[in-house]
A and B are shown apart, each in its own frame.
Chain A
Amino acid sequence: MISRDLVIVGGGPAGLAAALAAYENGVKDILLLERDQYLGGILNQCIHPGFGLQYFKAELTGPQYAERFIQKINHIKEIEVSLKSLVVHLTKEKALTYIKPGAMQTLTAKALIMGTGCRERTREMIQIPGTRPAGIFPAGLAQKLINIEGLLPGREVVIIGSGDIGLIMARRFTLEGAQVKAVIEIQKESRGLIRNVVQCLDDFNLPLYLRHKILKIHGKDRVEKVTVAEVDDKLQEIPGTRFELACDTVLISVGLIPENELIEMAGVAMDEKTNSPESSELSTTSIPGLWVCGNAYKIYDVVDGVTRDSAQAGKLAAEYLRNLP
């Protein structure tokens, strides 16, 4: 079987930083696998500013931030990038199988870094009752539709959950001429960054309903309205507070989950609550020579932290490879 020194799964900010750091620390054979058709991961759809304030001391958009890494990586011949390459199988011996158009490859990695990112929690995971018409989107999907595809998925929008993507999308929809009817948050405070609450809601006078929850989604073919109510300390509906909001779109922004099905398949000890690896030190897992970094390791607030910690994982992998017999 083919063997590679270092394989990195995921070409988002985590994988990019890990690859660069590993190279700078002496690894000369790196394979970077990315399932999408371009590097940069989720940054590509984050066209708003606010990236790199800590790391570059500059205010960049997501694509600009990614570009700084991609430029470098493209000039390093020791880092082989394979796009449209989806890893589908992983063993505890770090043998992995990936699929790309026209080929399926199996190889072993002496060291392996997983930067597989995260996915959004869905409407189904919080079990919102009601119908299942068109017009219910995870906030990140709506972001991709607007920013990458140029498609506007709704005109009258209610956003469930005040996570950062939800807040950013409240502003984005408003800028596109859609009407954001409400952001509904069950907790007492927004889950997002304060700067996002200010810049994305307050600056546009968009209503944030704290301590409210959604009781039902209505609509046959397309979303027609939602039922909302205020909740008490136990998050239970307070009688008499129900109201309805007409809308054609519901965005779900209720948190992110690390994507770790592959390391789970390989038998890495997992923390079931967070869907991330059990880990004694930053990025380490129960399998020697296998690290997890970026949002797959834990959910970060801003990308700068991902870059910093993922570079550390790259360094650890380089050290590990140096010390192999």
Chain B
Amino acid sequence: MKLFDVIIIGGGVTGAAMARELSRYKLKIALLEKEVELAFGISKSNSGIIHPGTQNPSLSLKGRLCAQGNQLMRGLAQELGVDFKEVGELIVIFQEEEKARLRSIAQEAEALGVPGLQMVDRPWLRQHEPNLSPDIVAALYAPTAGIISPYRLVYDLAENAMKNGVEIYTAHKVTGIIRPADYFEIQSTGGIFRSRYLINAAGLWGDEIANLVGIQDIVIKPRKGEEYLLDKKLENLTNHLVFPLPTPTSKGIIVIKTSDGNPMIGPTAQDGEDKEDLATTDQGLNQVLASAQKLVPAINRDDIIAYFAGLRAVAGDDFIIRHENQCPGLINVVGIQSPGLTCAPAIALMVIEILRQHGLSLQKKRRFYKNRKPFTHLFALPLGKANKVIQKNAAYGDIVCRCEMISAQEIREAIKRGATTLDGIKFRTRAQAGRCHGGFCTTRIMKIMAEELNLPCSEITKRGPGSEIIKASRENEANDIT
């Protein structure tokens, strides 16, 4: 059996960033993910904010990795061709007395090296952010805050890691781990693997993975966040990310810009027990709306076009990133709550350092492919350029999703790059993510998938086994439907 040098459990942003960073070295690496596609855990349902480092204490691990991650993300996005945008953030206050809190936030952030911080007053806000509530008296402006498409980041990291030799196994749920000698034997639903080092980046299930090797002191609790997306027509509702003052457990309800153009409002922060409870609630909606309207009064209930809930993996106040001496070779990377998306590139560097300290020899490969073959998104091109693309390849002119202007070629490309489900296609291309929510294009996408993946339509799923779209089909079960 092949002996890997490093196996990563979990294909969220944490796992994918580590895989990509480790792929610079002469190592045999595999990543095991239980879902049928990557980024189907926490990394698909978050705010997509690349925080500047204004939200966490300067002495926390989160705070340090956040400030560093924000800087690293720029280079990474450029290398991979991910749509990172630096839009800046405003933390706003409604009372003059709250200025002291803004100043202490600024002090903490400055200690972390966050650049360009500035206190801005009412006239500044009126000029740069005209839709803000007139009751807002001042704000702390952090220009380095950015936005990114969280799932596209994961897919792009993983694609590049694979290009550099990492083996990625989806639908491989880790169910058992033993350490028969100086290596791990990892049982999964897709087979047994052996590896010298093991990284636990299993998100909400990080505690269960730790339990498999006898580590009991990690307990992960889900903290739910509901988010509500607004119509793309409101793309310019705000020019910055708009935050209220944070509370002890949350950053508060934010008015968010997203890389797809739709503004978003949220998230809530609700502690729970069920790691699979992704239901949105009436209370959540009301809370998000009321809080967002306090910041930007023009927001309307009717502007909502989509919503979802995500669960943060909370293991105490900070991340847990450590080598387990009781189980040499195991590194836990758990409790990666917010701002884990921002921190991912910095976490990857930190983990590599830990691996080095614990005996992994790291030799750079002679040839590392740092770039990724770009993905053509028709909607992102000016019309003239789109015309050229269509003339070169007719299938770019075959529009499948009319709300978002996604072509048959883009759907096929997404499948070639690993999409096997309707959600996977949506996350990669935006098809089905527009106003009609797939009302018009779902059947066409299913047909393209059936063709490319060589599957009957009845086996096509939204996000893996159990989520089939179709219950019976005339093609295969002639008797079933009539």
Contact = CB atoms under 8 A, between A and B. Distances in A.
Interface of A: 35, 84, 86, 88-89, 97, 99-104, 106, 119-120, 122-125, 127, 129-134, 138, 140-141, 144-145, 148-155, 176-178, 215-216, 218, 220-222, 248-249
B468 A134 contact: yes
Nearest to B232: A261
Contacts of A177: 481-482
A29 to B, nearest CB: 24
B466 to A, nearest CB: 3
B397 A103 contact: yes
14 contacts: A35-B399, A84-B398, A101-B394, A101-B397, A102-B397, A103-B394, A134-B467, A149-B457, A151-B458, A152-B473, A152-B480, A153-B469, A155-B471, A155-B472
B57 interface: no
A176 B439 contact: no
Interface in B402-461: 402, 405, 435-440, 442-443, 447, 457-458, 461
A141 B442 contact: yes
A130 B443 contact: no
Contacts of B279: 129-131, 216, 218
Contacts of A138: 436-437, 439
B440 to A, nearest CB: 7
Contacts of B301: 127
Given A86-B405, A131-B278, 15 more contacts: A35-B402, A84-B398, A84-B399, A88-B383, A102-B397, A104-B387, A104-B390, A104-B391, A106-B383, A122-B305, A124-B306, A127-B304, A129-B284, A130-B279, A138-B437
Nearest to A272: B302
Interface string B321-334: 00000000000000
Contacts of B461: 134
Given A102-B391, A103-B397, A134-B461, A129 B281 contact: yes
Contact of B467 (A215, A216, A221): A221
A119 B397 contact: no
A183 B377 CA distance: 40
B442 A119 contact: no
Contacts of B458: 151
A106 B276 CA distance: 49
Contacts of A141: 438-440, 442-443
Contact of B470 (A129, A131, A132, A153): A153
B455 to A, nearest CB: 13
Interface of B: 276, 278-282, 284-285, 301-302, 304-308, 383, 386-387, 390-391, 394-395, 397-399, 402, 405, 435-440, 442-443, 447, 457-458, 461-475, 480-482
A221 B285 contact: no
Contact of A151 (B398, B438, B473): B473
A159 to B, nearest CB: 15
B383 A104 contact: yes
A4 B130 CA distance: 43
A15 to B, nearest CB: 16
B470 A124 contact: no
A118 to B, nearest CB: 10
Nearest to A88: B405
Contacts of B387: 104
B473 A150 contact: yes
A131 B467 CA distance: 13
B306, B394, B405, B469: most-surrounded residue (chain A CB, <10 A):
B469
Nearest to B398: A101
B305 A104 contact: no
Contact of B307 (A35, A124, A153): A124
Interface residues of B: mostly helix, strand, loop or mixed?
mixed
Contacts, number: 143
A265 B355 CA distance: 55
B276, B390, B447: most-surrounded residue (chain A CB, <10 A):
B390
B474 A151 contact: yes
A144 B439 CA distance: 9
A152 B471 contact: yes
Contacts of B471: 152-155, 178, 248-249
B265 to A, nearest CB: 13
Contacts of B399: 35, 84, 86, 99
Contact of B282 (A122, A129, A132): A129
B40 to A, nearest CB: 11
B439 A222 contact: no
B436 A145 contact: no
Contact of A122 (B281, B386, B439): B439
A103 B391 contact: yes
B443 A149 contact: yes
Contact of A132 (B281, B308, B386): B308
Contacts of B468: 134, 222
A176 B386 CA distance: 43
A90 to B, nearest CB: 12
A6 B402 CA distance: 23
Contact of B439 (A84, A103, A140, A220): A140
Contacts of B435: 119, 122
B285 to A, nearest CB: 6
B223 to A, nearest CB: 18
A20 B411 CA distance: 36
Contacts of A140: 439
A151 B436 contact: no
A102 B307 CA distance: 36
Given A127-B304, A151-B457, A151-B458, A103 B276 contact: no
A123 B280 CA distance: 13
B170 to A, nearest CB: 16
A124 B304 contact: yes
B98 to A, nearest CB: 32
Contacts of B480: 152
A228 B458 CA distance: 30
B367 to A, nearest CB: 38
A99 B397 contact: yes
Given A127-B301, A151-B457, A89 B383 contact: yes
